[in-house]
Amino acid sequence: MKRSIYDQDHEDFRSSVKAFIAKHITPNIERWDSEGFIDRDAWTAAGEAGLLGISVPGEYGGGGIPDFRFRTVQMEEFAAVGANSFNAGTSVQDDLVIPYLVDLGTHEQKQRWLPSLCDGTAIGAMAMTEPGAGSDLQGIRTTATRDGDDWVLQGSKIFITNGIAADVVIVLAKTTHGAGSRGMSLFLVPTTAPGFRRGRKLEKLGLRSNDTAELFFDDLRLPADSLLGHEGKGFVHVMERLPRERMSIAATAVAAAAAAFEWTRTYCFERHAFGQPIGNFQATRFTLAEIATDLEAGTSLLDRATVLLNAGELSAVDAAQAKYWLSDMHNKIVDRCLQLHGGYGYMLEYPIAKAYADARILPIYGGTNEIMKEIIGRDIAARTRSQ
């Protein structure tokens, strides 16, 4: 579907994204899925093509264009070829790691990491989730303790996207015991640091070629300048930036749902049963009509949220609504598209099968959709009480 939110610059950028995908991504997707890992060369090629760090100021190697629409163009084109794993990895890089550094990093931290994150020679990861603390970040147990001028990091993280490939990890840790959300801080951790240890590469239901790992910090000593942002403000820093992460998930959901619809629409008028295309049957047409309408409504919601994000006016509630509704919509659409494929939809040689597995994580990460509803519900209650 044509998006009125885009102008010619975005469409020109789309052409370059398509060229990059045709050369570096499409020929490798099946191999990456089989091996469970994406070649580092794909990251450096993305950097050379200007697809990483578009919002980063030019002095640090980026494109200097803080317009989220360029990110949504990428997501649409990655989804169109089923490159959901590569999209997941680059989304962590561009929508989590890089914005944290741009917003909170010192000049020295930015100089050290941003150019290599933008050119793809470095890969970043964000480490918040722990075995006993997912959406409840106040339950984390990883600690960072002062020892002279240094910090000593101790603990572990789980479900960390890019964890195996990462060169730098942003880690949320407790720095003041008993202070709750006011006692957490963020740290920049090079994966070459003594005491940093990667656990097993986790086997996932979907996003098979995107590496997800356990990480361990065994008395890992960090210099004082590894602190990212303000001491004791880590939880606040995360809360302030979660809307961007949730918008990335929402945009991925719309892009992947649209791709699933396009594959299915085509399939329904190529596949014959009872002497005619299955798209000629009323039941099929009704389902396609419902999916198309859901996509139009979902795209309008995403476009509104994108405009707010670009204007710096996206609230936590806006982001929660977009993330919850669009990721649920995505799962419903992919399920119905698979059903229209019949038995072929269950075969991994068809992109809809992998899309079905890839979709299931979206209502979970970035804060579960139950947490999104709690954010929205609390806002409703607060506004009602104030009337």
- Model confidence over 43-72: pLDDT tens digits? 999 999 999 999 999 999 999 999 999 999
d(CA 263, CA 260): 5
Q: Does 213 share its domain with 268?
A: no
pLDDT at 134 over 70: yes
Q: In terms of residue numbers, what domain contains 357?
A: 236-385
d(CA 319, CA 94): 17
- Model confidence over 345-373: pLDDT tens digits? 999 999 999 999 999 999 999 999 999 99
In a domain, 70, yes or no: yes
Query: What does DSSP assign to residue 162?
Result: T
Q: Does 160 share its domain with 39?
A: no
**pLDDT for the residue 220:** 98
In a domain, 1, yes or no: no
Quote the number of domains for the chain: 3
Q: Does 275 share its domain with 259?
A: yes
Query: What does DSSP assign to residue 203?
Result: P
**pLDDT for the residue 135:** 79
- Model confidence over 266-308: pLDDT tens digits? 999 999 999 999 999 999 999 999 999 999 999 999 999 999 9
- Model confidence over 142-190: pLDDT tens digits? 999 999 999 999 999 999 999 999 999 999 999 998 888 899 999 999 9
Which residues are the active-site residues?
245
Q: What CATH number does the domain containing 274 carry? A: 1.20.140.10
Q: Does 137 share its domain with 107?
A: no
User: Residues 104, 117: contact at Cβ < 8 Å?
Assistant: no
Q: Does 273 share its domain with 367?
A: yes
Q: Does 66 share its domain with 147?
A: no
Q: Does 281 share its domain with 207?
A: no
d(CA 64, CA 149): 35
d(CA 143, CA 172): 9
**pLDDT averaged over every residue in the chain:** 96
